[in-house]
Structure 1
Amino acid sequence: MKKLILIVLALFPLAVIGQSLPGLAPGQTPTNKPVLHGKNWMAITGKPLAATAGATIFQQGGNAVDAACAMLAATATMWDVLSWGGETQALIYHPGLKKVIAINAMGVAPTGAIVDFYKSKGMDYPPAYGPLAATTPGTPGGLMTMLAEYGSMSLEQVLKPAMQLAKGYPIEAQTANSIESGKERIKQWPYSKKIFLPHLGEDKEGPEAGEIFVQEDLFQTLQKLVNAEKEALANGKSRKEAIYAANDRFYRGDIGKEIVRGTQEQGGLFTEEDLANWKVKIEEPLSVNYKGIEVYKLQEWTQGPALLQSLNILENFDLKSMGYNSSEYIHTIYQAMNLAFADRDFYYSDPAFEPRSPIKGLLSKEYAKERAKLIKDKNDPTIKAGDPYPFQGGSNPFKSLLNNSDNSMAINNPGMPIQGPNDPFLQEFQSGTTSIQAADAEGWVVSVTPSGGWVPAVIAGNTGVGLSQRMQSFVLDEKLNPYNLPEPGKRPRVTLTPSLALKDGKPFLSFAVQGGDSQDQNLLQYFLNIVEFDMDVQEAAEAANINSYQMQSSFGAHEIKPGAMSLRDDTPTWIRAELMKKGYIMDFWPRTSGPINAIWFDWKHGSFWGGSSNYGDDYGIAW
């Protein structure tokens, strides 16, 4: 891999997001990172090596979908808070069709995963870790479907950087520390222990930062996919057919059989039929128009529509006149999110199962106006989901549950602020993943928020594939969400939420962020920073955000902390005092925006502007 990187950097003087230099122009706002500019292509993701994988594919002639798939493979191999057994969801702008396409590669609940099964084990929610936390793998199918349908390269070309990483790469301190801190769980699972703990019995049993981390089992799995593609091509199959032949080997061949065997050995529920019957869904996204900008999100099996609902509510207020991060602005944003997320917590679920969420009513402008009327001068800690059914010409089948909902009552430690960065609630609420942004001169744009299989993960047999932990996003009590109860074949309502926006029928902004339930909060404010307050793509990524905890966490015990809020530590004292009078309980952090990655499209000059937050290891390369 080193040789490949050196070639790229030596032959092409690429623009790279790094530290900004002194010497700002008069009036220019300083940022920790400069804007990334590009004309031909742009690749941004959660790890520098993974961004290099995307850049390498672009330099070899691939399009934005090819590059996004290479970055997805690389981040999954590098355990960037996800693995190959996790889930992938994406929005793709197709320049030929001039439309946004949604990719649903979320795994499903396995056979036997029903409410009574988990309750029989004394659980209030499906577990956060272990084989019973796993949905079926989605990322391999998502990658291969995107590549087959919209890419231009072979699977072998796109997987080559990831295969080089699997053969050994210098592991970062962040991942090494996660392995070490999670090693007691890892020791419960034999295949995980074999891979993650190369120094068993020593003081530090996981890899050290900078140590060459080798994943031979994963390399062999990826090689089997490439071999399946090669065999299909040799038999006269097309590029697309050959990629789907590799997909079949993963889900219906020897790879899938070993995943099932290894998972069941460790107490999991997968069957071969579960994997064989699972398919990626290519869907129509949801969208709303905010002041002439079409904002797109995935369907309500994600939390993405909560951002769309928030925009509909906020359209009823003059945000710009309030002033950026004034107490009035912060209060209005917080309350709008409360209303949208209360609906998320009660209604959102997999639309393939009945009863379906009332998404038409939830996204109607009229419903948003009624919700906006509920915003008062002080925080309302008892806010509940509304009733959108009248706004789509129907009646609510769960009216009695709605009136007696535990939506605002599932509270542990009510009124308590966040107890520092190691607060278990915060670690669950903001459980990370990664994000991927790619665009090219042909007009392809890709926004991806993959996740699942983070450390400590169960490895499925001898495949090197880490399993998802997404079952925990189901609930077992219909009072919390009667739509989001586990059933075999059903997708849990997840936090993962890529974003695309069009203006005048052309790409305007592609943006995503990691961070669990905080994702659509940060993305909402990021979008408003650009649209309402004229920030550029990097200024908006580093700007001060707020984070609300007045919504059910999608992880662990699904806690909620009404009135709790995180703000940046440079918030003025008078703003703090005004918010306290409005009923907020605050804590303060050096950075609050989350690791946002984004591309803004400069149609005046025919170029891309890239932004990558100063929050973590996220990195971009452009040409």
Structure 2
Amino acid sequence: MRLHARLIVALTLLAPFTTADAQRTERPPLHGQHWVAVTGKPLAATAGAMIFQQGGNAVDAAVAMLAATCTMWDTLGCGGETQALIYHPGLKKVIGINGLGVAPTGATAEYFRSRGMQFPPEFGPLAAVTPGTPGALMVMLAEYGTMSLAQVLAPALQMAEQGYPIEAQLANGIHANRERIKQWKYSPSVFLPNTGQEREAPVAGQIFRQADLAATFRKLIDAEAQALRRRRPRKEAIMAAYERFYRGDIAEEIVRAVQEEGGLFTREDLANWQVKIEEPFSTTYRGVEVYKLQQWQQGPVMLQALNILENADLRGMGYNSAQYIHTVYQAMNLAYADRDFYYGDPAFAPEEPMRGLLSKEYARSRWGQMSLTRNDARVKPGDPYPFQGGTNPYTALLERWSTEGPRAMARAGAAGGETLRSDDATFDDAFTRGTTSIQAADKNGWMVSITPSGGWVPAVIAGRTGIGLSQRMQSFVTDPEDGPFNVIEPGKRPRVTLTPTIAMKDGEPWMAFSVQGGDTQDQDLLQFFLAMVEFNQTPQQAAEHPGFHSYQMRSSFGAHEARPGRLQLNERIPSWVRDELRTKGYSLEFATHTSGPITAIMWDRRNRSFWGAASNNGEDYGIAW
């Protein structure tokens, strides 16, 4: 009888977490019949709505949102990088957009090591790859949109020229970084409009204007207008603006200013760079097709984790039970270990073993290596080469692989061979370094997922262009022991964390989703996806899921450190789940919001309508009609 009473109490305690919490959401879901636009800032979503209401398709709206988020410095500037997946209803296929810049001329491993740098720096002109977002924006619009560049840039131009009320998050971020901003010649005039006052940074609600950026937008619009006056087709007119940015007077000013600040850009670096339209990778999980961009970004890590988890009965374990959390955590670590070692720019030799990494057979072998009872803090990259009929050329490097992070950290350590480590706050800031996300969909079947980033505050402003430059070069390594496929070379793209997603069911687009948060991105997206597919949650419920994070993989930022065995849980996880995880060897910590700022759009085929979602972990939100 006493045991029966205890069981009732336990079930009563568990019920609010597994049932009631799965029903309630802090934010209401969005519903639309004609279109949905979701992104990192409400004003940017409004820009997408304006384009939809003018008759644009989801690509037109997404491009307008991209320009608006850059203008609002939503953890990116216009000189950053843009990664996108587009479902094309006419072709009935998913298309990848690679708008990531490259290392400039002279950016070699030897260059940085000769200056006492283990990796390229986190900030400044030497952190910048060539601007990718303007090119990606114009190529997406030219190839898959319907409107003119002038039309889709109109909201962003108005925001730059007339200004917009800056929000507290950005204003306070500028204030916190004011001393670094002052190190660069052209950045203070953009970010510190209150020079001479006690607070030089803007305050929340202040009208924030960017005259130089507005002038750059006008130059692009003018290039398009001139081409149209010459009776050039719409696509060619948009690409005339592209030409002006990368080979004309805008490029000239960017290069001049970067070199003045001590950077490495040349005119040839910008002129030779191109947006790549590519075939994405995909896998199937429980009948759902999941699409990710190629291995120059971390997206395939989610595909690998799904392949591993297909071997588990996650539903039978129960949502966020100790065994569920352990199993998903271990699968993520296995996949991320492969990311750390094998991913890189496919345009450069050696060729990454992606066929083996994404095979179901390799996933089964990794599943067989996984402990079902204890955390394995010594997880290393596997060997996918036999699964594609090859021999691994890097077995010696694999044997020396350190799960603690770059071996060079120990070589550079203090007396006694100690490894230099940043404090946890600095590590966390780098590990979860933000971006934004953009989702758009329309009733004609277009669906877009974009994860743009780079050029976040504090950013180097490229002369009088108003363009904030990327900080993405820090994602390279300089030693093959730290990842032989991602060693910096001129013209090479760094392996980045930015990871848009599209999922399909029965040959139709089902969902577009992405998230910000550095190396946690595919951890959050994996859990979001599983919450829907395995546990039938709605997009909004899944977007607010009480997620968990591993820090066992190497950070893509800063000193590329790792924290094996560390597990961040949501505060709502019950005590008995925490206790069981501790017995499995985890070092636990807790946070209030752990889903990441997920944004998503789902097509409800039965009702012929859309669901939109934005998590309760950030400012992201959307609008629908």
Fold shared, TM-score > 0.5 on shorter chain: yes
Aligned 8 A contact 2:127 2:470 in 1: yes
Match of residue 379, structure 1, among 363, 375, 381: 375
Aligned 8 A contact 1:125 1:474 in 2: yes
Aligned to 1:514: 516
The verdict on how the C-alpha distance between 1:335 and 1:249 changes in structure 2, with shifts beyond 3 A counting, is same
Aligned to 1:498: 500
Q: Structure 2: how far apart are the matches of 1:467 and 1:439?
A: 29
Deviations 1:435-490 (A, max 9, x none): 00000011000000000000000000100000000000001121110110111110
**What is the Cα deviation at residue 27 of structure 1?**
11
Aligned to 2:534: 532
**What is the Cα deviation at residue 406 of structure 1?**
2.7
Aligned to 2:5: none
Residue 603 (structure 1) aligned with residue 605 (structure 2)? yes
Residue 265 (structure 1) aligned with residue 260 (structure 2)? yes
Q: Structure 2: how far apart are the matches of 1:137 and 1:305?
A: 24
Aligned to 1:291: 286
Aligned to 1:55: 49
Q: Give the partner amino acid of 1:482.
A: P
Q: Structure 2: how far apart are the matches of 1:417 and 1:549?
A: 14
Deviations 1:390-412 (A, max 9, x none): 10111111111112223545488
Deviations 1:282-333 (A, max 9, x none): 0000000111111000000000000000000000100000000100000001
Correspondences of 1:157-306 after superposition (within 5 Å): 157-167=151-161, 168-306=163-301
Aligned 8 A contact 2:403 2:564 in 1: no
Q: Structure 2: how far apart are the matches of 1:30 and 1:233?
A: 52
Aligned to 2:10: none
Q: Give the partner amino acid of 1:138.
A: G
Aligned 8 A contact 1:597 1:612 in 2: yes
Aligned 8 A contact 2:540 2:615 in 1: yes
Aligned 8 A contact 1:417 1:564 in 2: no
- RMSD, aligned α-carbons: 1.8
The TM-score normalised by the length of structure 1 is: 0.94
Between 191-200 and 593-602, report the one with greater CA deviation. Answer: 191-200
Q: Structure 1: how far apart are the matches of 2:239 and 2:444?
A: 25
Aligned to 1:123: 117
Aligned to 2:389: 393
**What is the Cα deviation at residue 375 of structure 1?**
1.3
Aligned to 1:146: 140
The verdict on how the C-alpha distance between 1:531 and 1:415 changes in structure 2, with shifts beyond 3 A counting, is farther
Aligned to 2:567: 565
**What is the Cα deviation at residue 191 of structure 1?**
0.4
Q: Structure 2: how far apart are the matches of 1:438 and 1:174?
A: 24
Aligned 8 A contact 2:254 2:463 in 1: yes
Task: Extract unaligned runs of 5+ from structure 1.
Answer: 1-24
Aligned 8 A contact 1:95 1:442 in 2: yes
Aligned to 1:314: 309
**What is the Cα deviation at residue 236 of structure 1?**
0.9
Aligned to 1:12: none
Q: Give the partner amino acid of 1:397.
A: P
Q: Structure 2: how far apart are the matches of 1:198 and 1:610?
A: 36
Q: Give the partner amino acid of 1:93.
A: Y
Q: Structure 1: how far apart are the matches of 2:349 and 2:314?
A: 38
Q: Structure 1: how far apart are the matches of 2:125 and 2:487?
A: 19
Aligned 8 A contact 1:417 1:565 in 2: no
Q: Structure 2: how far apart are the matches of 1:291 and 1:198?
A: 53
Aligned 8 A contact 1:530 1:537 in 2: yes
The verdict on how the C-alpha distance between 1:492 and 1:415 changes in structure 2, with shifts beyond 3 A counting, is closer
3-state SS of the aligned residue for 1:507?
strand
Q: Structure 2: how far apart are the matches of 1:117 and 1:201?
A: 39
The verdict on how the C-alpha distance between 1:527 and 1:26 changes in structure 2, with shifts beyond 3 A counting, is closer
Aligned 8 A contact 2:421 2:561 in 1: no
Match of residue 581, structure 1, among 583, 587, 590: 583
Q: Give the partner amino acid of 2:43.
A: L
Q: Give the partner amino acid of 1:160.
A: A
Aligned to 1:35: 29
Deviations 1:370-390 (A, max 9, x none): 001111111111111001001
Q: Give the partner amino acid of 2:613.
A: G
| Identity over aligned pairs, percent | 63
3-state SS of the aligned residue for 1:508?
strand
Aligned 8 A contact 1:417 1:586 in 2: no
Aligned 8 A contact 1:384 1:408 in 2: no
**What is the Cα deviation at residue 200 of structure 1?**
2.5
Q: Give the partner amino acid of 1:50.
A: A
Match of residue 355, structure 2, among 360, 370, 381: 360
Aligned to 1:404: 400
3-state SS of the aligned residue for 1:559?
coil
Match of residue 110, structure 1, among 93, 104, 114: 104
Task: Extract unaligned runs of 5+ from structure 2.
Answer: 1-18, 411-417
Deviations 1:546-603 (A, max 9, x none): 0110000000011100011111112111111111111111110111001000011100
**What is the Cα deviation at residue 178 of structure 1?**
0.8
**What is the Cα deviation at residue 418 of structure 1?**
11
Match of residue 98, structure 1, among 92, 99, 106: 92
Aligned to 2:472: 470
The verdict on how the C-alpha distance between 1:407 and 1:475 changes in structure 2, with shifts beyond 3 A counting, is farther
Q: Give the partner amino acid of 2:434.
A: G
Q: Structure 1: how far apart are the matches of 2:20 and 2:556?
A: 45
Q: Structure 2: how far apart are the matches of 1:228 and 1:407?
A: 51
